[in-house]
Structure 1
Amino acid sequence: MFRFMLRRDRVQLPVWITGIVITVVGTLSAYANLYDTEAFRQESAQMLGSPAAIAMTGPEFYLDNYTLGAMMGHQMIGYTAIVVALMSVLLIVRHTRKEEETGRTELVRASVTGRHASSTAALMLAVGTNIVLALVIALGLASSGADSITWEGSILFGAALASVGIVFSGLTLFIVQLMEHARGAIGISAGLIAVAYTLRALGDMGAETLSWLSPIGWAQQTSVYVDHNWLPILLSLAFTVIMVAAAYPLSTKRDVGAGMLPPRRGKASASTLLTKPIGLAYRLQRTNIIVWSLGILLLGMAYGSFIGEAETWVENMGDVAENMLPGMDAGDFANSFAAMFMSVTVVIATIPALQSILRIRGEEKDGRLEGMLAGALSRYRLLGSYVVTALVNAGILAFLAGLGMGLAGSQSMNDSSLIGDLVAAGLLYTPAIWLTIGVAVALIGFIPRAASYSWAVLVFAILAIYLGGALQLPEWVMNLSPFQHIARYPAEDFQWTSLFWLTGISAVLIATGMYSYRRRDLKQ
């Protein structure tokens, strides 16, 4: 079973590992070039000492002696841990709950395979992947020869990231015993990643106890390249053992394909809207849309509450602010800060919008579309219902991102006009989200098996926002991201031309994808 899973993921696993390693090692190289003197590093540490910056990066103790190693531990572990955790969640769900959902697990168990073989093999794969990732990262960092990047610190850096992945592997193995469907298991596991990051952020801002409730917080408490604390790694392994020990007995108490939590009974009769394709498309995604909408609203409010600290930061930084932000007063800095937060929030809001359109590909793979298309329903109406749902969902999420940030930001700045400005700033990103959806529609129409590669647009956008400046990427590379063409309002003026171009390209991609979808065979 382990070899079979390894064979199935022979492309995905190297892509995950290579992407993470290149990002980490590339960031170290960029930091070494940008912060080549101790004075520059200490200026950066001074800027990152505010509660808002600590919430976005890591614990304050990294700032005491801000070497290159301390910068990596402070700024990279938290963000990279999210990616590693997500990789582990997807691996476990793909080879456990998804296999049960498709009926393949029942066929495998009909032979001499043991009841726990699939779970054990999936856990071996996830743990092994994280160990390989840790070793490659440690080798890449230690062999760089950068100042303060020691072998012990590099090994601990890799181990810290792997510990987060292993914890969420065990936690997801437990969750898949509870849920009946793969999407539910992924949704809860991804939600727990967000909870872990939030607890870490709140704990690092002052309530230290909360950091010790988060696996991501444990990884950052290792104090890599500073004090080299291995105790949190042992804590992560202990928690994983507990989760796995709880998951195995639960798997013997449920039927194959079922979850420990019984599904909620539906209504006896369908509503009029549910008999329409767009109503069905919305109903299948209703819970996901509601949860993500609430999450984006709260995320916007969390970021907006920090906007009011901009003026204090400029005053406290003194000469540092003049050197790093020439010609910019506190108000301009607040607007720039709000624009930066908005770009991050809207890119995150693209995740559910992309999930919304890719849902039809999942329905096709599971063989549920053939029965629907056997009647009078046309392919245009079927795909169009998912396209409309995704496009509307994108607009709602962009609006909520701006509304949440505007409500909290207006309170922190004592300026009610900020609500309208930030709502407009969020809505300006809608065409960029639409273009990402358009890429997915085009792939669904032309190359359905490659539809999942539409996530590459979003991943690149995230890398461009977080690491584009640090890695000093050329302008033409940055412009490959659709989000790069949106004006950073309210710090910048509207750029209507780019909005029209993005909307037009999105329309062309959607139209060509729908036309091709009508002419091709359904594929699994």
Structure 2
Amino acid sequence: MSGFGALLAQRLRRDRMQVPLWAVGTALLAYLSYVGVAQSYGTEADREALLSTVMANRVILLFRGLPSGADDGAFMLFLILPFLVMMAAFMSTFLAVRHTRADEESGRAELVGATAAGRLTPLAATAAHGLIAGAILAALTTLAYLAVGLPVTGSLIAGCATGAAGLTFLGVGLVMGQLFRTPRAANAASVWIVLLTYLIAGIGSALGTPTSDLQRLESSWLVWLSPFGWAEQSRPFADDAGWPVVLCALVGLALVGLAFALQSVRDLGSSFVAERSGRPAARPALASPMALVWRLNTGALIGWAIGGLLTGMLATSLSAPLQETAASLPSVEAILTALSAGGSLEEGAVVIFFTMLGILAACCAVQVICRARQEETHGTAEIVLAAPVDRARWLADYVVVAFAGIVIVVASAVVGALLGIASLDDPDWSLMTDVLVTGGGQVAAASVFLVITALVFVLAPRLTIPLGWTLVMVGMILGLFGPLFGFPDWLVNLAPIGVAPTMTSDGVDLKGLWWLLLAVAVGATATLSLMRRRELAADG
């Protein structure tokens, strides 16, 4: 294929920062998860006790992997494998859409199509690039397991399962890029498929059958509808089954083949899912730039708000399973009590889930700012700025909507927490104080991610999307997994979500609230001041 090598090199160069960040981040999470498990569940008796409790409270399996025994390697993957697969999935789907549908919308694909490369060569280069990225991620993840002294065979199966699941979602991203007209719609559909298949695998495990010793679970048939389930069925460090890994790879290759078939029968710039027809005249509510920003981000805000609602419900409705778990496993009780600063187990659960909520709210805000960058690269921002709207006002609208998104996500979680308490046989309404304080603290924490991403947008526009999401990923690892992995306090406190205010037995612990508010104020002021002096940077 003429030009294949040049196009592949171009894709490798464009993603020279994104792919290493995703791959190294996944491998680092794998490494630290083993270290954390060794510290928190150092004895086989602790691991057996936790697995037995999980079998009695299956709802926990919605957020974890497939139990395959109490050996340290198998137990570690029970806790972390779905999250490793999710990182591989996001890397692969974003890569696929970025180099297919996004290139069509920006006009790059049309320029390439005018050369001797042909209509399928760019897609082939993207598929090869995705394969290379997945192989790098699998290799680094395997090396992370080997570095902690786990067996070679299990390490290879675990690394390959993560990479092969990423290949499956590479195919998903390529197909979505064929079906939908815009990269935003293709990315949104890919993300929802990732989350849906993650949930399906969790439900399939929750409906499974445990062994008599309560150390292993045989999943229900639902897991075979999800790449997450296929990766978990390889059971690294237990069965070391290679055929589920092969299944992931084959399905991924089949989806890549489907993308080629769809590409060969559609026109450049067209799609199989038609866009919704617009109104002949705009509504009066769209008379301002702010209203336009709201309209562009409505779907994303609704999606993240639903996630916040579910998180809030889980934060208060899981008190009974947590009580049973802590009663049989003192290490779990110690972790929850530490997180609540000496408070009750229910308060510890609120802290854990609302820390997750801070990540969701930050993701919502980052996505809105990334939309501003997309509008700039696509040239549509120039149309708005041709009206009497200055650059600072235009970006300020996105910052305001992003902050409103944070508030909406947290407010949805508060409503969910209220519903969760109401669903209990013996509701403890005093938990709402913890919910409100912790939720308010996460608003400040997520706002830090917002202003940092906005500042990156002003100073280094090309890095807005990769660096914005990378910062959220680092914040999640430090703030959410740091206590589990035994990170020192100073390192955990680098994450805004780790220093957000919480309730303690003595009242409200403000922690780093004033630093968070100062960072938000300085970041917002610097962003809007510098934006007045920046020209549009439409090159992607």
**Same fold, TM exceeding 0.5?**
yes
| Paired AA for residue 240 in structure 1 | G
| Paired AA for residue 20 in structure 1 | T
Q: 2:494 aligns with which of 464, 471, 480?
A: 480
TM-superposed CA distance for 1:92, in Å, is: 0.5
Tell me whether 1:9 sits opposite 2:15 in the alignment.
yes
CA distance in 1, matches of 2:221, 2:128: 32
Q: CA RMSD in A?
A: 2.6
Secondary structure, counterpart of 1:429 in structure 2: helix
Write out per-residue CA displacement over residues 293-326 of structure 1, whole angstroms, 9 at most, x where no aligned residue: 2233234334543233233334444x66777778
TM-superposed CA distance for 1:118, in Å, is: 1.2
Q: 2:126 aligns with which of 122, 129, 133?
A: 122
TM-superposed CA distance for 1:367, in Å, is: 2.5
Corresponding residue of 2:61: 54
Residues 454 and 247 (structure 1 numbering): CA distance in 2 closer, same or farther, change over 3 Å?
closer
Corresponding residue of 1:68: 72
TM-superposed CA distance for 1:282, in Å, is: 0.7
Write out per-residue CA displacement over residues 316-364 of structure 1, whole angstroms, 9 at most, x where no aligned residue: 44x6677777899x98112211221121133123211211123212222
CA distance in 2, matches of 1:133, 1:339: 32
The correspondence of residues 257-296 of structure 1 with structure 2, limited to 5 A, is 257-296=269-308
CA distance in 2, matches of 1:326, 1:179: 47
Write out per-residue CA displacement over residues 150-205 of structure 1, whole angstroms, 9 at most, x where no aligned residue: 11111100111011101001111111111011111111101111101111111111
CA distance in 2, matches of 1:197, 1:451: 27
Tell me whether 1:227 sits opposite 2:227 in the alignment.
no
Corresponding residue of 2:106: 102
Corresponding residue of 2:174: 173
Corresponding residue of 2:455: 442
Corresponding residue of 1:431: 444
TM-superposed CA distance for 1:57, in Å, is: 1.5
TM-superposed CA distance for 1:44, in Å, is: 4.3
CA distance in 1, matches of 2:21, 2:523: 26
Corresponding residue of 2:356: 344
Tell me whether 1:38 sits opposite 2:44 in the alignment.
yes
117-126 or 456-465: bigger deviation:
456-465
Corresponding residue of 2:158: 157
TM-superposed CA distance for 1:35, in Å, is: 4.2
| Paired AA for residue 283 in structure 2 | S
CA distance in 2, matches of 1:45, 1:295: 27
CA distance in 1, matches of 2:75, 2:428: 37
Contact in 1 for aligned 2:369/2:454 (Cα 8 Å): yes
Contact in 2 for aligned 1:402/1:424 (Cα 8 Å): no
Residues 251 and 193 (structure 1 numbering): CA distance in 2 closer, same or farther, change over 3 Å?
same
TM-superposed CA distance for 1:46, in Å, is: 4.4
Corresponding residue of 2:86: 82
Corresponding residue of 1:185: 186
Secondary structure, counterpart of 1:494 in structure 2: strand
Write out per-residue CA displacement over residues 413-469 of structure 1, whole angstroms, 9 at most, x where no aligned residue: 531626743355323311111111111222223333333323333212210234212
CA distance in 1, matches of 2:429, 2:284: 41
Contact in 1 for aligned 2:92/2:167 (Cα 8 Å): yes
Corresponding residue of 1:29: 35
CA distance in 1, matches of 2:317, 2:336: 22
TM-superposed CA distance for 1:129, in Å, is: 1.6
State the identity %: 27
The correspondence of residues 247-396 of structure 1 with structure 2, limited to 5 A, is 247-317=259-329, 332-396=344-408
CA distance in 1, matches of 2:296, 2:441: 28
Secondary structure, counterpart of 1:412 in structure 2: coil
CA distance in 2, matches of 1:320, 1:365: 51
CA distance in 1, matches of 2:120, 2:275: 24
Contact in 1 for aligned 2:478/2:495 (Cα 8 Å): yes
**TM-score of the pair, normalised by structure 2:** 0.89
| Paired AA for residue 56 in structure 1 | F
TM-superposed CA distance for 1:135, in Å, is: 2.4
CA distance in 2, matches of 1:314, 1:493: 24
Residues 491 and 245 (structure 1 numbering): CA distance in 2 closer, same or farther, change over 3 Å?
farther
Secondary structure, counterpart of 1:486 in structure 2: coil
Write out per-residue CA displacement over residues 52-90 of structure 1, whole angstroms, 9 at most, x where no aligned residue: 332222223x2x3x1121122211211111001000011
TM-superposed CA distance for 1:8, in Å, is: 2.0
507-516 or 471-480: bigger deviation:
471-480
CA distance in 1, matches of 2:111, 2:121: 13
TM-superposed CA distance for 1:125, in Å, is: 1.1
Corresponding residue of 1:214: 226
| Paired AA for residue 496 in structure 2 | P
CA distance in 2, matches of 1:462, 1:398: 17
Q: 1:406 aligns with which of 418, 422, 425?
A: 418
CA distance in 2, matches of 1:506, 1:75: 34
CA distance in 1, matches of 2:289, 2:269: 27
CA distance in 1, matches of 2:122, 2:328: 56
Contact in 2 for aligned 1:308/1:409 (Cα 8 Å): no
464-473 or 510-519: bigger deviation:
464-473
Residues 177 and 322 (structure 1 numbering): CA distance in 2 closer, same or farther, change over 3 Å?
closer
**TM-score of the pair, normalised by structure 1:** 0.91
Contact in 1 for aligned 2:88/2:165 (Cα 8 Å): yes
CA distance in 2, matches of 1:32, 1:420: 35
Corresponding residue of 2:468: 454
CA distance in 2, matches of 1:450, 1:173: 23
CA distance in 1, matches of 2:363, 2:102: 20
Corresponding residue of 2:212: none
